[in-house]
Chain A
Amino acid sequence: QKEVEQDPGPLSVPEGAIVSLNCTYSNSAFQYFMWYRQYSRKGPELLMYTYSSGNKEDGRFTAQVDKSSKYISLFIRDSQPSDSATYLCAMGRGAQKLVFGQGTRLTINP
């Protein structure tokens, strides 16, 4: 079993839809949770960072962490074609090392 599981998709939704992306994990020691966006042939870009459980909102993006269920989510409201990318969840337990999910390829159709 992988430490972090993420559905690779692809996921295709119409413009304006709400997008839900998810990851599950098995290691209860993870305390830091991140979402990265990666455009084709580019390095990942940090979108959201959350410590421990709870919600965090930034513009159209909301990150949720449920440590009891070992489940994290990223919601994108009013999705735009420019949101089309691969979204990677990442987790850490200190000491800086991160474990990444496989990434979900998302396409927003105009």
Chain B
Amino acid sequence: GAVVSQHPSWVICKSGTSVKIECRSLDFQATTMFWYRQFPKQSLMLMATSNEGSKATYEQGVEKDKFLINHASLTLSTLTVTSAHPEDSSFYICSVPRGSQETQYFGPGTRLLVL
């Protein structure tokens, strides 16, 4: 069964609004979670590393004030896309390290469409 869940699975919003995406680790605690973005027919691009109890670490070129990450507990991380614009429309996927922590288990993804 699934070990990582995401909610919502898809969302449509108006330009300028904010959207929150939740990522939950179902079977185990995770001090670290990752957030990726994937455009159509492209690979996964790491956006940020979510750290429980401390600030997220953002990859180069990712605006931390636009993509707010909160690692509220050992099983929950949230990504908030603030003042969303059409170019933010994408597939957002979270992942959780497992076992040796060199492997990652992915959530089912959240498809965001900004009109």
Which positions in A face B, CB cutoff 8 Å?
6, 8, 31-32, 34, 36, 41-46, 49, 51, 88, 92, 94, 96-98, 100-103, 105
6 nearest A-B residue pairs (beta carbon): A43-B106, A32-B102, A43-B109, A43-B108, A100-B43, A102-B43
Across the A-B interface, how many residue pairs have beta carbons closer than 8 Å?
54
Which A residues touch B32, using CB under 8 A?
96
Q: Are A44 and B93 closer than 8 Å at their CB atoms?
A: yes
Closest to A51 in B: B102
Could you say which interface size class chain B belongs to?
20 to 34
Closest to B97 in A: A96
Given contacts A96-B49, A102-B42, A103-B43, 6 further A-B contacts (CB under 8 A): A31-B102, A41-B109, A43-B93, A43-B108, A46-B106, A49-B103
